[in-house]
Structure 1
Amino acid sequence: MKKKIIIANWKMKLMSAESAGFVEEFVKIYKSNKKMEAVLCPTFISLQSVAAQLKDKEIFLGAQDCFWEEDGAFTGEVSPKNLKELGCRFVIIGHSERRSHLLETDEVVHNKVKAALRQGLVPIICVGETFEERQEGAKDFVVMNQVTKAIEGLELDAEDQLIVAYEPVWVIGSGQAVAPEEAEHTHQVIRQVLIDHFEPATVKERVRIIYGGSVDSSNIKDFFAFQNIDGALVGGASLEPETFNNLIQQASQVN
């Protein structure tokens, strides 16, 4: 059975010493279970030290981005090959902050997804509509288009896994999440796009669809109660070890 998953995206908010302090405390209080996986995504410069702290722990390491080539003259970039060597299992791709601030296109996202899969990493493909697109009634179309372009031409090998994270752009950092019922509907839309592309059994066994956007202890159980919500991508509520651990434990209580 696929486990549900909660992913901490620290963005650029925890420096190296703070990341080390978080992990030191988190590993003391976190109790793994058969229903849930936990992933920490620190900054690039903290990956190596966090990887060392997580050695032999049942907590996974992820990165916040990657480049689409394995090596070469690409100043400032970090390849999936580098991430794999550091011990990463997951990598966030196409986060709305990169799409807006760094002008990442659907083509760039697609190329990064392919590069991550080549290295055996699990891509976390972020999709979501802006407030304007929502007001225009284009939410489902936008999300379907982003997912379609991200996975176009992809085939998943026997060991490959994939995660799609639905994060409405307008709720990120706002403290206001969408209604869980609406997230469930959008996840159903995403799942159908995936089923139309891959075999239904492949989607069932190796693809997870998760929600992100102002997830916290007040709403995590509501989201996890829905059938098509396989996990959460968490920002602000992942920055304190006790808060993040509490989030995981609450989600684990949902049948």
Structure 2
Amino acid sequence: MKKIWLGSSWKMNKTQSDVVRYCEFIKPYLSAVDVELQTFLVPPFPYVKQVGSSLAETGCLTGVQNVGFESAGPFTGEISVGMAKDIGATLVEIGHSERREWFGETDATVNKKVKLSLLEGLKPLICVGDTIDEKRWGVTAESISRQVKIALHTVSADLVSQVIIAYEPVWAIGERGLPATTEEAEHGLSAVRLALIELYGKTIAEKVPLLYGGSVNIHNAKMLLRQQNIDGLFVGRTAWHPEGLLRLIRLASEVIEEQAYA
């Protein structure tokens, strides 16, 4: 039975009082989740330590939404992987399409950040995805494969099992995003898996958790989690309220129960 991953990035949302209320509400439920369900939260940087400390006993992992591509230096406004680790982060979100579109992230800088994160013992959560034009042109698989291969360039087989990869179609993200069908989500993640097999072989490739993100909601979560190559969900606005995350936890637990009796 595969382990299911379920987490959310809060992006540039919430204040300290919002964070306190969120953690207080969700903590009892996170403490009771199935051992086969791994939860994680990726808050804005100022609240990473607060969330990590509040939920430390629950098993929920905490991450940062970005890191710099160098260990230190004159990079105003950036945070290093060492700083992320120092405040208790265990995950590092890297390469989200919003970082690529608005802040100049490239496949090459993603690769640098992945390797620095692994050196610090942090788990890179690598985001890959196709644009609406790439989808229309029929090159989704090629685009995803390129992003995966460059992100993992020179990453050893020994370390790649520490990596998590999320397929997030650019056209499915955000308030106006169009939810991918289960077939589209599975197609994207099968391209990720095939790229991993090319790089590392089938046995190692199957150890890398693959997540789907992009307009995930309570109506499509279970069907997505039932797909062969989807090991979990990386959720946006549906999980920005703790009640939404709780409903997703319950749905994921139902899928785990289905797998146990399959």
Partner in structure 2 of residue 80 of structure 1? 81
For 2:61 and 2:185, the matched residues in 1 are separated by 25
Query: After the TM superposition, which residues 60-209 of structure 1 pair with which residues of structure 2 at under 5 Å, given as runs?
Result: 60-157=61-158, 160-173=161-174, 174-205=176-207, 207-209=208-210
Q: CA deviation at 1:87?
A: 1.4
Answer with 43-52 or 67-76: which moved more: 67-76
Gaps of 5+ in 1: none
The whole-number CA distance in structure 1 between the counterparts of 2:73 and 2:202 is 37
RMSD (CA atoms) = 1.5
What are the Cα deviations for residues 163-212 of structure 1, in whole angstroms up to 9, with x where unaligned? Answer: 1110010110125311111211221111010011113222222x111100
Task: State how far apart, in whole Å, the 2-side matches of 1:201 and 1:166 are.
Answer: 20
1:24 Cα offset (Å): 1.3
Which moved further from structure 2: 132-141 or 104-113?
132-141
CA displacement at 1:81 relative to structure 2? 1.1
How big is the shift at 1:2? 5.0
Matched letter for residue 15 of structure 2 = M
Q: Assess if the C-alpha contact under 8 Å between 1:120 and 1:160 holds in 2.
A: no
Aligned runs of 1:45-60 on 2, under 5 Å?
Answer: 45-60=46-61
Q: Which residue of 2 aligns with 1:26?
A: 26
Q: Give the partner amino acid of 2:28.
A: K
Q: For residues 203 and 153 of structure 1, what CA distance do their matches in structure 2 show?
A: 15
Code of the aligned partner of 1:10: W
Q: 2-side partners of 1:39 and 1:55: how far apart?
A: 11
Report the Cα distance in structure 2 between the residues aligned to 1:34 and 1:19, rounded to whole angstroms.
Answer: 25
Runs of 4+ that moved beyond 4 A: none
The Cα offsets for residues 109-161 of structure 1, whole Å up to 9 and x where unpaired, read as: 11111111111111111111111111111211111111111111211436951
The amino acid across from 1:203 in the alignment is A
Query: How does the TM-score come out when normalised to structure 2?
Result: 0.92
Higher mean alpha-carbon deviation, 23-32 vs 42-51, is at 23-32
Distance in 2, Cα, partners of 1:91 & 1:238: 19
Q: Between Structure 1 and Structure 2, which shows a larger proportion of helix residues?
A: 2
- Distance in 1, matches of 2:42 and 2:14, equals 11
Q: Distance in 1 between matches of 2:65 and 2:2?
A: 23
Query: If the length of structure 1 is used for normalisation, what is the TM-score?
Result: 0.95
Q: What percentage of residue pairs aligned between the two structures are identical? A: 37
> What is the CA-CA distance between 1:17 and the residue it aligns to?
1.9
The answer (yes or no) to whether the contact 1:91–1:122 under 8 Å persists in 2 is yes
Are 2:18 and 1:15 equivalent residues in the alignment? no
Return the alpha-carbon distance in structure 2 between the equivalents of residues 125 and 62 of structure 1. Answer: 12
Q: Would you say the 8 A contact 1:66–1:112 is kept in 2? A: yes
In structure 2, stretches of 5+ residues that fail to align are none
